[in-house]
Amino acid sequence: MGRKSSIDRLAPEIKAYIQAKLASGSVTLDELIADLREKFPAAAQSAELPSRSAVGRYGQKLERRLLAIRASTEAAKLIQAHAGDDKDARSEALTAMVQTELFEAILALQEADEAGEDGEKADPGERVALLSKAAKNIATLTRSSINLKEFQSKVEEATRKKLLEEQRAKLEAMPNKGGVTADTKAAIREALGIV
């Protein structure tokens, strides 16, 4: 891929500081640049700090990633809240998180198509390698998702069978008095699908 952005080439503590400020959304670009110059005067003096436009581009990429992660996290929470543990909701939530990571990889591939800060385009060979790796991971994730759905289907079927068996046993235990005849029980069995 093209050259790393000027943000990625920064000292780790400066990069982490920029990421935290951008993620919080509490400052404008101009305020962030001024804050960086004040907090890291040595880097500012040696012209190591990124430009306003570099911070803006990086902020847009970071925001896309954060939105994808937030959406995936929310989906995982909803899945876990509405599905019983017997359906392996945690695995489903984990699958959703892995899907987010693959989405991140696809974003990286799209960004690889864009010219870098130095105007260089991504190396086609590197792009093919990234696509190959993504395809392999997507295939693995798809198999995992299919296996999970099959497991959930089996759990649902076993739960239904257990419920029907319990209903059948209760119906058989019900005495034939108070207007409940053998014909009534047969009609109830038929309506519930009890064999």
Sign of CA pseudo-dihedral 17, 23, 28, 29: positive
Per-residue confidence (pLDDT) for residue 76, from 0 to 100 = 67
Per-residue confidence (pLDDT) for residue 7, from 0 to 100 = 82
| 108: confidence class by pLDDT, cuts 50, 70, 90 | low
Q: In this predicted model, which residue has the larger pLDDT, 37 or 94?
A: 37
Per-residue confidence (pLDDT) for residue 86, from 0 to 100 = 54
- Which amino acid belongs to residue 137? N
| 111: confidence class by pLDDT, cuts 50, 70, 90 | low
**pLDDT digits over 40-93, tens only?**
988 888 888 888 888 888 888 888 878 877 777 777 677 666 655 555 666 666
What integer is the mean pLDDT of 178-182?
74
What integer is the mean pLDDT of 177-183?
74
- Which amino acid belongs to residue 93? A
Q: What is the dihedral of CA 89, 92, 93, 97, to 10 degrees?
A: 170
pTM: 0.42
Per-residue confidence (pLDDT) for residue 1, from 0 to 100 = 47
| 139: confidence class by pLDDT, cuts 50, 70, 90 | confident
| 121: confidence class by pLDDT, cuts 50, 70, 90 | low
| 172: confidence class by pLDDT, cuts 50, 70, 90 | confident
Q: In this predicted model, which residue has the larger pLDDT, 21 or 182?
A: 21
Residue among 21, 13, 105, 10 nearest 56 (CA): 21
Per-residue confidence (pLDDT) for residue 183, from 0 to 100 = 81
